[in-house]
Amino acid sequence: MNKALLVLADGTVFEGTNFGAAGETIGEVVFNTSMTGYQEILTDPSYKGQIVSMTYPQIGNYGVNGEDVESAGSVKVEGFVVKEYLDFPSNWRAGTGGVGSKSLGDYLKRHGTVGIERIDTRALTVHLRNYGSQMGIISTVDFHLPSLLEKVRSHPGIAAVDLVEKVSTARPYQWHQDCQPWCRATVKEKDLLKVVVYDFGVKYSILRNLVAEGFAVTVVPASTPAEEVMGMDCHGVLLSNGPGDPATVTYAVDNARKLLGKKPLFGICLGHQILGLAMGGQTYKLKFGHHGGNHPVIDLETGLVEITAQNHNYCVDLSSLHGQVRLTHKNLYDGTEEGMRHVELPVFSVQHHPEAGPGPNDAIHVFRKFREMIGGEA
């Protein structure tokens, strides 16, 4: 087994062994509390710039497959941290779907993603909860602590980088993938509503759920001018999830501001934050973020509690919007604001990930709400 080190910017050191690719990687270290779904996490563009540590102790037992990826191209996380990597996948889907790998370790190697195992992930999680998420470095080639600290401390941090441009599509495309088994109803072609999705790091599951609710989906690059979108004869616009600090994507905020009142708007995660900034509000960073599949969120419009998937470091301060919106969802763990609806315009958004299905379908109805807001039949 090859030695590997994880070193945090505050000087905390964890020694373990390497799995996946060898080498060195730097990113903001966060922990995820999901018990399953590691492949969806690895391929979620919202994790660009971050090293993800899983709190569940055994990872890799069901391998990888071609159906569970959430984005095109490579793995999006900068590094992967687990307590115990299991190199013997037992699920029948492992290796299917043209993924090119059967085991998680081989999958990470193919995509050049450095992993470290056999560290105390509980201690790491407690440290991040106490002191906050911070930059870290995983290395299998350099074990000199002063050298590693210099590398990680000289990194400007993910708030200084526009990570959206690194994960957004380069050109527009139509999403035609068959939505089975996600389809819940059959919508005739004449009843399809056209929706444009701004790709700030969109997940495939969002596109599938839009198709399932009777949308014809066009995905456009993150920097597409609002004027171009308004000329596309669409019924509505979705602002997708994505990585990093919303304040770095000023072009997205400007475009969202121009679309307000011109098209029905629906925002998810980063898209929610961009909408908040577009309306003149402010965002703030959480101490260690929300990353997991077990966050209870109350829908204040229905009184129902939904189990949600979360992956964000930033929140919108709804008080800074001075009455333009009303609060629709609230996190029952820490009271943070999880959703908003404009009091006059056809605009609403959620901070969590309804498409991730941890409930499994507690929050999926928001895609139906989007269609209803536009004026389509439910």
Q: What is the CATH number of the domain that holds 24?
A: 3.50.30.20
Average pLDDT on 262-268 reads 98
Domain boundary among 114, 137, 160: 160
pLDDT of residue 189: 72
Do 25 and 37 form a contact (C-beta atoms < 8 A)?
Answer: no
* Residue 177, pLDDT above cutoff 80: no
Look up the CATH number of the domain holding residue 336: 3.40.50.880
* Residue 344, pLDDT above cutoff 60: yes
pLDDT of residue 173: 97
- Residues 64, 196: one domain? no
- Residues 295, 271: one domain? yes
Average pLDDT on 178-192 reads 66
Catalytic site includes residue 291: no
Average pLDDT on 18-39 reads 97
Gap between the Cα atoms of 354 and 349, Å rounded: 11
- Residues 9, 67: one domain? yes
Confidence of residue 176 (pLDDT cuts 50, 70, 90): confident
* Residue 1, pLDDT above cutoff 80: no
Residues in the chain: 378
Which has more pLDDT, 203 or 360?
A: 203
pLDDT of residue 295: 96
- Residues 135, 196: one domain? no
Strand 236-239's sheet: what is its strand order? 173-175, 215-221, 193-199, 236-239, 265-268, 347-350, 337-342, 325-331, 282-299, 305-317
Whole-angstrom CA distances from 327 to 163, 322, 323, 332 are 28, 12, 10, 14
Which has more pLDDT, 206 or 179?
A: 206
pLDDT of residue 357: 85
Range in 24-33, 79-88, 92-101 with the lowest mean pLDDT: 92-101
pLDDT of residue 378: 45
Do 311 and 354 form a contact (C-beta atoms < 8 A)?
Answer: no
Q: Residue 366 is encoded by which pair of tokens?
A: 């928001």
Average pLDDT on 337-341 reads 98
Name the residue among 205, 236, 201 with its Cα closest to residue 218.
236
Do 302 and 358 form a contact (C-beta atoms < 8 A)?
Answer: no
Using CB atoms within 10 A of its CB, is residue 61 exposed (0-12), middle (13-18) or buried (19+)?
Answer: middle
- Residues 131, 196: one domain? no
- Residues 115, 183: one domain? no
How many structural domains does the chain have? 2
- Residues 172, 151: one domain? no
Residues of the chain with pLDDT > 70: what percent? 96
Range(s) of the domain holding residue 237:
164-374
- Residues 139, 216: one domain? no
Domain boundary among 160, 195, 221: 160
- Residues 199, 323: one domain? yes
Gap between the Cα atoms of 208 and 225, Å rounded: 25
- Residues 353, 246: one domain? yes
Catalytic site includes residue 269: yes
Handedness of CA 80, 83, 88, 89 (dihedral sign): negative
Confidence of residue 178 (pLDDT cuts 50, 70, 90): low
- Residues 330, 237: one domain? yes
**What pTM was computed for the model?**
0.95
**Residue whose pair of structure tokens reads 């201690």 in the numeric block:** 123
Gap between the Cα atoms of 292 and 35, Å rounded: 9
Which of the residues 269, 306, 315, 352 is marked catalytic? Answer: 269
Handedness of CA 98, 104, 109, 115 (dihedral sign): positive
Gap between the Cα atoms of 243 and 271, Å rounded: 10
Catalytic site includes residue 353: yes
* Residue 179, pLDDT above cutoff 80: no
Gap between the Cα atoms of 90 and 350, Å rounded: 36
Q: What is the mean pLDDT of the chain?
A: 95
- Cα 294 to chain centroid, rounded: 15
- Residues 200, 155: one domain? no
48-62: pLDDT as tens digits: 999 999 999 999 999
Domain boundary among 145, 160, 175: 160
| Strand segments (E) across the chain | 3-8, 13-20, 24-32, 50-54, 58-59, 79-81, 84-85, 114-117, 134-139, 173-175, 193-199, 215-221, 236-239, 265-268, 282-299, 305-317, 325-331, 337-342, 347-350
Confidence of residue 360 (pLDDT cuts 50, 70, 90): confident
116-173: pLDDT as tens digits: 999 999 999 999 999 999 999 999 999 999 999 999 999 999 999 999 999 999 999 9
Name the residue among 133, 163, 198 with its Cα closest to residue 48.
163
- The one-letter amino acid code at 78 reads E
